[in-house]
């Protein structure tokens, strides 16, 4: 959007005043430099040291990175992160699209119901995670009671090594499906009506209308939602930390959880900094990959 | 005669009633899907409320007791009197309030400068900043605060929360100032205004809706942050989310007070959300749609 509004030659008034406008940015630049850029650089620097808080730091070069490459626990945490992320992106995308199709129609109470549906999105994650912890409880939890109502056997939920990640994703789905819904709803609002009218005249079914008209037109919005969801899911921390602490054992230990333990349980700052650098590389790679897909998809649609 | 007159009327009615029935079935199906999609959202909040209004015996009962009978405010009284919820609430207001105010002070002018200079590199920086996991800022800042003796202070928390609030405010404001027409400022420029005058008397008054959105989003994200408080705060300087997790889960396992505290944490946020229903998406999708 900003690229489109850039004039070929900035107007003379504003060109002359560039230096004046730069002054507006300087305070923010100072703050960003102190709390954002400085930590980035300091992290990269620390990652070259064997350093525990309270002891002397030794320069070790790339040793921390080499150790990570052979660290079974770290590699497993990458696997857990990807498993968690795939589930926590795909399911909200599907459910969010369905919800958007529903809320796109006119019906009574739509505004109120949509507001209710979007409430989870802004709710404090820790507070929500505590409530889900109680709901997951195998003996007194309300979820197992609900299962028993429909005749299903009780589940161990987050106390089972195989079910812990899907259970945590359940919370993530509950939290973030509304965001996908709102993004897709924005896409649906911009749809033209003519293709639908002519397709209906040709006798197209509702499914065909969705598959061949709606879906291609909202694809760019779905990809935007996928990018945002991916970045957020990779970074998920509060919910996992509060509900399972990475357990049972290390069954739900994602990169972020591993990072937290290294830094603030073992105070292994050098190693943790190396984890941050690798972690950041993964996030950046995922974001660029998805943005690349987005650009190609946009060309396909246009 | 009467037979001949009655027969066609019946067929017409039957012909009419079939589509009507089908429409009724479709309507019922539609409303069922609305209920299915909305109920998880509302039920978790209602369950939270129910847990917070029941005594401990009912909270641990199986099958669960859904309607508090009689409802009790005991849990809320307990978290405020025995677990100093009031102090943590105040800490949260101070930290999120100060971090938001500082972010506005530096971020609103910056958003204006970025929009007028078309400073895209700064925007990319802001986007990368928002993509970086919060924990990765925490490690270096923690070591620096350790060195300066600032750990366990509200000052350290406010500084750390700037990591959240500044990028949001800058992002929202830059986007907002870009949508304002330059013509007004150019007119004022001819009348001899300085860059500061243009900002203060022309652009800023027009930017009020953007400022409201930026303020609320920054405040909510700061309020919801857990990990900064969990790591940097001491016993007396915890923010609400950190306090709810630390104090209540470790010192007591009672569900009622825990649910009550969870409601106290999240209610202010839900109320603020109502004011910016429509703008939330724009704020949350930072970079996705626009960059």
What CA–CA distance (Å, rounded) separates A181 from A118? Answer: 9
Within this chain, do residues A28 and A174 fall inside the same structural domain, yes or no?
no
pLDDT of residue B126: 85
Provide the shortest C-alpha distance from residue B16 to chain A (in Å): 22
Where would I find the H helices in chain B? 2-52, 56-59, 74-81, 85-117, 120-131, 134-148, 154-179, 182-190, 195-197, 204-206, 208-224, 227-232, 240-243, 249-251, 255-275, 280-284
Contact partners, residue B144, CB within 8 Å, separation at least 6: A42
> Cβ distance A199 to A213 under 8 Å?
yes
Q: What angle do CA B208, B214, B215 make, to 5 degrees?
A: 90
Q: Would A55 be classed as within a structural domain?
A: no
CB of A299 less than 8 A from some CB of B: no
Please give, rounded to a whole number of angstroms, the shortest distance from the CA of A21 to a CA of chain B.
5
Question: Looking at the complex, does the CB of residue A107 fall below 8 Å from at least one CB of chain B?
Answer: yes
Q: Is B161 on the interface with A (CB under 8 A)?
A: no
- Yes or no: say if B261 and B238 are a contact pair by the CB < 8 Å rule: no
Nearest to B139 among A107, A228, A272 (CB): A272
Residues of chain B neighbouring A126 (CB-CB closer than 8 A): 224, 226, 241-242, 244-245, 262, 265
User: What is the ipTM score, two decimals?
Assistant: 0.85
Mutation for A interface: B27, B29, B34, B41, most A CBs within 10 A: B41
- Looking at the structure, do residues A32 and A70 belong to the same domain, yes or no? no
Specify whether A12 is located in the same domain as A72: no
Please tell me the predicted confidence (pLDDT) of residue A100: 94
Which of B22, B51, B100, B140 would you mutate first to test chain A, the one with the most A CBs within 10 A? B140
Instruction: Find the closest chain B residue to A129 by CA distance.
Output: B262
Chain A contact present for B107, CB below 8 A = yes
**What are the residue ranges spanned by the domains of chain B?**
2-52, 74-284
Same domain for A26 and A128, yes or no, is no
Residue B17 pLDDT: 65
Domain B74-284 has CATH 1.10.3720.10: yes
Give the SS3 label for residue A59: strand
For residue B268, which residues of chain A lie inside 8 Å, CB to CB?
none
Q: Write the DSSP string, B113-165.
A: HHHHHT-HHHHHHHHHHHHS-HHHHHHHHHHHHHHHT-TTSHHHHHHHHHHHH
Whether B275 and A122 have beta carbons less than 8 Å apart is answered as: no
Q: Which residue of A has its CA nearest to B216?
A: A122
pLDDT for the residue numbered A286 = 86
Same domain flag for A28 and A75: no
**Same domain for A15 and A157:** no
Residue B215: strand, helix, or coil: helix
Chosen for mutation from B139, B223, B249 (greatest number of chain A CBs closer than 10 Å) is B139
Angle separating helix axes B154-179 and A18-32, nearest 10 degrees: 150
Q: Within an 8 Å CB–CB cutoff, is residue B231 touching chain A?
A: yes
Q: Are residues A150 and A233 in the same domain?
A: yes
- The alpha carbon dihedral of B260, B264, B265, B271 has a sign of positive
Cβ of B195 and A20 within 8 Å?
Answer: yes
Question: Radius of gyration of chain A from Cα atoms?
Answer: 24
Nearest to A269 among B143, B166, B290 (CB): B143
pLDDT at B127: 80
Q: How far is B72 from chain A (nearest CA, A)?
A: 19
Q: Do A256 and B133 touch (CB under 8 A)?
A: yes
Distance of CA A76 to the CA centre of its chain: 20
Which residues numbered 145-184 in A keep a CB inside 8 Å of some CB on B? 145, 174, 178-179, 182-183
Q: Is A52 domain-assigned?
A: no
CB-based contact (8 Å) between A78 and chain B?
A: no
A21 & A73 share domain: no
**DSSP 8-state secondary structure symbol assigned to residue A61:** T
Closest listed residue to residue B228, CA positions, set B144, B162, B286: B162
Question: In this predicted structure, what is the pLDDT of residue B2?
Answer: 45
CA distance linking residue B39 with residue B252, whole number of Å:
31
Residues 201 through 230 of chain A touching chain B, CB cutoff 8 Å: 224-225, 227-228
The answer to the question of residue A240 being in a domain is: yes
Q: How far apart are CA B92 and CA A193, in angstroms?
A: 48
Residues of the domain holding A24: 2-46
My answer on whether A133 and A32 are in the same domain is: no
| B113 vs A: CB within 8 A | yes
Contact B178/A36, CB-based, under 8 Å? no
| Residue A175 to residue B41: CA distance in whole angstroms | 9
pLDDT by residue (tens digit) across A172-193? 999 999 999 988 988 898 888 8
- Decide if A118 and B280 are in contact by the 8 Å CB cutoff: yes
Strand partners, A50: A58
Percent of chain A residues past pLDDT 90, beyond the cut? 41
**Are A243 and A113 in the same domain?**
yes
Interface with chain A: mutation pick from B59, B132, B252, B258, highest number of A CBs within 10 Å: B132
Q: Is B239 helix (H, G, I), strand (E, B) or coil?
A: coil
In angstroms, the CA B220 to CA B279 distance is: 13
pLDDT beneath 70: ranges in chain B? 1-17, 248-253, 278-291
User: Does residue A51 form part of some domain?
Assistant: no
| Distance, CA of A136 to chain centre | 23
A184 domain-assigned: yes
Q: How far apart are CA B122 and CA A30, in angstroms?
A: 12
Nearest to A88 by CA among A155, A211, A180: A180
Rounded distance between C-alpha atoms, residue B175 and residue B286, angstroms? 10
Nearest CA in chain A to B181: A5
Number of domains forming the structure of chain A? 2
What is the pLDDT at residue A1? 39
- DSSP element (H, E) containing A58: strand A58-59
| Regions in chain A scoring below 70 on pLDDT | 1-17, 294, 296-302
| Contacts A123 to B, Cβ<8 Å | 45, 266, 269-270
Do A249 and A114 share a structural domain? yes
Query: Residue B218 has what pLDDT?
Result: 92
Q: Is residue A279 part of a domain?
A: yes
Number of CB atoms found within 10 A of residue A105's CB: 10
Of B60, B64, B244, the CB nearest to A130: B244
Give the CATH number of the domain where residue A92 resides. 1.10.3720.10
Distance CA B214, CA B164 (A): 12
């Amino acid at each position: 959007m900003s690229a489109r509004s850039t004039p070929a030659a900035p107007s003379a008034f504003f060109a002359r005043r560039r230096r004046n406008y730069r002054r507006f940015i300087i305070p923010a630049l100072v703050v960003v430099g102190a709390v954002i850029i400085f930590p980035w650089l300091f992290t990269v620097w620390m990652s070259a040291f064997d350093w525990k808080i309270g002891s002397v730091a030794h320069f070790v070069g790339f040793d921390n990175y080499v150790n990570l490459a052979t660290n079974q626990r770290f590699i497993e945490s990458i696997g857990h992160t990807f498993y968690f992320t795939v589930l926590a992106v795909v399911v909200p995308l599907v459910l969010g699209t369905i919800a958007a199709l529903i809320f796109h129609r006119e019906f009574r109470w739509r505004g109120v119901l949509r507001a209710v549906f979007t409430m989870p999105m802004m709710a404090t994650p820790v507070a929500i995670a505590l409530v889900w912890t109680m709901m997951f409880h195998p003996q007194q939890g309300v979820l197992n009671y609900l299962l028993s109502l429909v005749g299903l056997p009780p589940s161990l939920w987050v106390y089972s090594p195989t079910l812990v990640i899907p259970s945590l994703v359940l919370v993530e789905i509950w939290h973030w499906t509304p965001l996908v819904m709102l993004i897709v709803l924005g896409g649906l609002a911009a749809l033209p009506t003519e293709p639908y009218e002519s397709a209906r005249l040709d006798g197209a079914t509702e499914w065909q209308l969705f598959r061949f008209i709606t879906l291609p037109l909202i694809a760019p919005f779905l990809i935007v939602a996928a990018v945002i969801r991916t970045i957020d899911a990779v970074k998920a921390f509060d919910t996992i930390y509060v509900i399972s602490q990475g357990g049972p054992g290390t069954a739900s230990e994602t990169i972020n959880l591993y990072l937290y333990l290294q830094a603030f349980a073992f105070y292994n700052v050098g190693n943790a900094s190396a984890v941050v650098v690798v972690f950041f590389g993964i996030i950046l790679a995922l974001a660029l990959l998805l943005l690349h897909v987005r650009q190609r998809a946009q060309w396909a649609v246009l | 005669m009467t037979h001949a007159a009655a027969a066609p009327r019946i067929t017409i009615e039957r012909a009419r009633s079939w589509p009507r029935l089908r429409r009724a079935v479709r309507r019922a199906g539609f409303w069922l899907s609305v209920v299915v999609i909305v109920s998880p959202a509302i039920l978790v909040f209602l369950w939270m409320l129910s847990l917070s209004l029941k005594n401990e015996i009912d909270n641990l009962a199986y099958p669960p007791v859904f309607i508090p009978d009689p409802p009790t405010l005991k849990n809320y009284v307990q978290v405020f009197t025995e677990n100093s919820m009031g102090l943590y609430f105040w800490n949260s207001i101070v930290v999120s309030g100060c971090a938001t105010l500082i972010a506005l002070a530096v971020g609103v002018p910056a958003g204006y400068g970025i929009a007028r200079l078309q400073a895209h590199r700064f925007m990319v920086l802001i986007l990368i900043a928002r993509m970086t996991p919060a924990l990765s800022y925490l490690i270096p800042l923690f070591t620096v605060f350790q060195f300066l003796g600032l750990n366990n202070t509200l000052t350290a928390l406010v500084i750390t929360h700037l990591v959240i609030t500044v990028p949001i405010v800058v992002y929202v404001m830059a986007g907002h100032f870009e949508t304002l027409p330059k013509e007004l400022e150019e007119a004022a420029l001819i009348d001899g205004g300085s860059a500061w005058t243009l900002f203060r008397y022309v652009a800023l008054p027009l930017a009020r809706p953007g400022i409201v959105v930026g303020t609320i989003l920054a405040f909510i994200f700061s309020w919801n942050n857990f990990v900064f408080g969990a790591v940097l705060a001491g016993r007396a300087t915890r923010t609400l989310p950190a306090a709810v997790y630390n104090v209540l889960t470790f010192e007591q396992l009672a569900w009622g007070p825990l649910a009550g505290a969870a409601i106290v944490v999240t209610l202010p946020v839900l109320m603020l959300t109502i004011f910016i229903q429509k703008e939330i998406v724009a704020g949350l999708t930072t970079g996705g749609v626009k960059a």
